[in-house]
Structure 1
Amino acid sequence: MVRFLADGHTGEAVHAEATLMEAFFRSLSMILVSEIGDETFIIAAILAMRNKKRVVFSGALSALAIMTVISAALGYVVPNLISKKTTHNAATILYTFFGLRLLYIGTRSKAGEMQEEIAEVNHKLDKTVDPPWLMRSPLLRKIKGTLNPVFLEAFILTFLAEWGDRSQIATITLATHKNPFGVTIGGILGHAMCTGGAVIGGQLLAMKISQKTVAFLGGAVFILFALHNIVFGADKE
């Protein structure tokens, strides 16, 4: 009896570790294919050219880490409101949609699109002013006066750009049916890698990135996620 209980606990521990690692690697790969060359990547790259790299990195990554925690938490809550089978099917549909959309974008991509996006972000940064809600709040104005303004700029711009972005929705979706801790850790590490690359030499890298290649790679990853969900149903995960 004791041996059976021990084996049972060991089996559960092994399964838990396996699901944690699967969620971690899924989240990491998803962020890497979603964020390279994305708007948050370009924002970090351009800000790092104008300011201290470590300050831009810490501000941007702080925003992305908070966003990842929020997204994973939302994904964790959803299955408690909707059945596991429904969330699983919804995740499969979203993965398929993201994958097909990225593949479509890849077929429509033309040379020079990344340069145009960099120029657009540059223009937005040049015109950046304090939002009205910041000017109206004494507390937020005080925080702005206390924190490093470059850190705050990187944080706010990154947070706003990431809100509602494909990677945020995909993180919520992944956390609905995978270990939320693994999703969070993998997502934060993926963001750290992308943001680190952006601040070190992001604009040069972005100019050399093929939008077509990134879109096809991202599309393939999301399609693989969808196929995995179809082959391994909700009851097998």
Structure 2
Amino acid sequence: MQAFLVSTGVVALAEVGDKTQLLAFLLAAKFRRPVPIVLGILAATLLNHAAAGALGAWITSVLGPRTLRWGLGLSFLAMAAWTLVPDRLDESDTQLARHGVFVTTFLTFFLAEMGDKTQVATIALAAQYQAMGAVVAGTTLGMMLANVPAVYLGDRIAHRLPVRAIHAVAALVFAVLGVATLLGAGERLGF
């Protein structure tokens, strides 16, 4: 349960102001069809985070406990710093295909998440907790908690969110996870 809750919270916080949330605003404004947009986000996130979770699980099988502990600890600290860097949409992220709302959303979200901080966080969390299903479910829920309101409420809430404060809290959580991992908090889990 801890893996699910931490994964949900960290990703929901980290996703506020992220380029995929900005993409959700853009798609909602362009298409004004929230249900296929939300379903496209869900499908893309599930596929992307399942692959990331599988990579995290595989990493735990090939790295020794000490290497894994240091790698995870440093990864969480790097995620803390990365979370403080504001995202912007690139022009390539806004090129919308003409394949329908669901397919357009699915493709743009899947590609935008490749190498994004939430995907990297999913890899690290799956390796940390060795509970791929709980982590993927949690990170997916976190993405949905951040992006569904963006689809439905759009510009009405975008300028009201304290993005810097939310990113600071997410960075703090990543930093705590990193320090705790480096200090051996995960030793009972075998790393």
Q: TM-score range by the shorter chain?
A: 0.7 to 0.9
Query: Is structure 2 residue 64 aligned with structure 1 residue 83?
Result: yes
Q: Is the contact made by 1:41 and 1:202 (CA closer than 8 Å) also made in structure 2?
A: no
Q: Identify which of 51, 54, 63 aligns with 2:35.
A: 54
Q: For residues 100 and 44 of structure 1, do their structure 2 counterparts lie closer, same or farther at Cα, with a shift above 3 Å needed?
A: closer
Q: If the length of structure 1 is used for normalisation, what is the TM-score?
A: 0.71
Q: Which position in structure 1 is the counterpart of 2:117?
A: 166
Cα gap change, 1:75/1:231 in structure 2, threshold over 3 Å: closer, same or farther? Answer: same
Shift in CA distance, 40/29, structure 1 to aligned 2, threshold 3 Å = same
| Residue of structure 2 aligned with 1:202, choices 145, 154, 158 | 154
AA aligned opposite 1:34: A
SS at match of 2:17: coil
Aligned length: 187
Q: Does 1:37 align with 2:17?
A: yes
Cα distance in 2 for partners of 1:42, 1:59 equals 15
**How big is each residue's C-alpha offset from its partner over 1:62-117, in whole Å with a ceiling of 9 and x where there is no partner?**
101111111111101111111132112101001112213445x4xxx7xxxx8xx4
Specify the alignment match of 1:5 in structure 2: none
Distance 1:129 1:191, change over 3 A: closer
Q: Distance in 1 between the 2:13 and 2:60 partners?
A: 26
Helix, strand or coil at the partner of 2:154: helix
Structure 2 distance, partners of 1:121, 1:202, is: 19
The equivalent residue for 1:26 is: 6
- 1:122 offset after TM fit, Å? 8.0
Relative to structure 1, is the Cα distance of residues 180 and 123 closer, same or farther in structure 2, using a 3 angstrom cutoff?
Answer: closer
Does residue 181 of structure 2 align to residue 229 of structure 1?
yes
Contact 2:113 2:119 in 1 (8 A): yes
d(CA) in 2 for partners of 1:190 and 1:154? Answer: 18
TM-score normalized by the length of structure 2:
0.87
Q: Corresponding residue for 1:177?
A: 128
- Output aligned runs, 1:28-177, within 5 Å: 28-51=8-31, 52-103=33-84, 105=85, 117=88, 120=89, 125=94, 127-129=95-97, 149-177=100-128
User: RMSD over aligned Cα, in angstroms?
Assistant: 2.2
- Measured in 1, the distance between the counterparts of 2:119 and 2:93 equals 22
Please, which runs of 5 or more residues in structure 1 have no aligned partner? 1-20, 131-143
Greater Rg over alpha carbons, structure: 1
Bigger helix share:
1
Match of residue 218 from structure 1 = 170
When residues 47 and 100 of structure 1 are mapped into structure 2, their CA distance, relative to the original with a 3 A threshold, is closer
Cα 1:37–1:24, aligned 2, differ >3 Å: closer, same or farther?
Answer: same
